[in-house]
Amino acid sequence: MLVVLAGPMESPIVVERRRIEIADPKIAGSKQPYHAAQGLSLKDAEALVSACAEASAQLAAEAVREAIADAKQKGYEISTSCILTGSGRSIPALDKILASHPLLHTAEGELFRDAIARACQNQGLPVVAVKEKELIARAPNYIGISRELIDQHLQRMGKAIGPPWRQDEKHASLAAWIASSAGSN
C-alpha cells in the first residue's frame, strides 16, 4: 500500500493512496519466490529468487516514479518515505531459508521491502524505517501527539477519502505521517 500525505503535521490529509504490485505476474512464483524455490536445486533456487528480486525492484521503481509524478501533477512534492519493517533479524543463507518455513516468509518480506526502499532511495527520498509491530505504540513519540488524537485523525482521514479504509491503508498512512514528522525535525 502506498499513501501520500500533505498538509499540516498535526492534521495531514491523504492526497493519494494506491495498491502497488511488485510481484511480476510473468514469473511463476513471483508472489512468494522463496516458497517457489523450495524443492529446486540451490543453483536454480538462487536464479529464481534473483530474477524475482530484480523484477520486483523494477516494478517498485516504476510505482515510486509514478507516485512522485502524480503527486507533482497535483501540486505536491514528496520529501520522504517510510517502510514498515519486520523484526529486523538478519536473513541467513539461501539454503537455511529454504529449510525453514518461517524464514521463507521473513525473506520474502525483506525482498519486497528492500525493493521499495531502494526505489525510494533511487528517487532521492530518505527512507524512515519503523518496525510494523511497534508502529502504533511508537507513533505518539514520532508525531508528538497522543495516541487518542492520532486514532481520531486516522478515522477522519478514512472518512474524508472514503471506503475502503483497511488496516493496511491506516498503517501506511500512519507510516507516512511518521516519515513526514521525522523529515520536519
Q: Residue 88: what pLDDT? A: 77
Q: How far is CA 91 from CA 38, 53, 100, 125, 183, in A?
A: 16, 15, 11, 25, 29
Q: In this model, does residue 104 exceed pLDDT 70?
A: yes
E strand or H helix at 125: none
Amino acid at 175: A
Q: How far is CA 59 from CA 32, 48, 50, 135, 140, in A?
A: 15, 16, 14, 26, 33
SS3 label, residue 16: strand
d(CA 106, CA 114): 12
What letter does residue 6 receive in the DSSP assignment? E
Instruction: Choose among 55, 37, 57, 56: nearest CA to 46.
Output: 37
% of the chain exceeding 90 in pLDDT: 90
Q: Residue 47: what pLDDT? A: 98
Q: Residue 183: what pLDDT? A: 60
* Fold of the 2-184 domain: Nucleotidyltransferase; domain 5 (3.30.420)
Sign of the C-alpha dihedral, residues 108, 112, 117, 123?
A: positive
The whole-number average pLDDT for the span 129-157 is: 93
Predicted model pTM: 0.91
Q: In terms of DSSP bridges, do strands 81-85 and 127-131 run parallel, antiparallel, or are they unpaired?
A: parallel
Question: What average pLDDT does the chain have?
Answer: 94
Q: In this model, does residue 184 exceed pLDDT 60?
A: no
pLDDT band at 180 (very low <50, low <70, confident <90, very high): confident
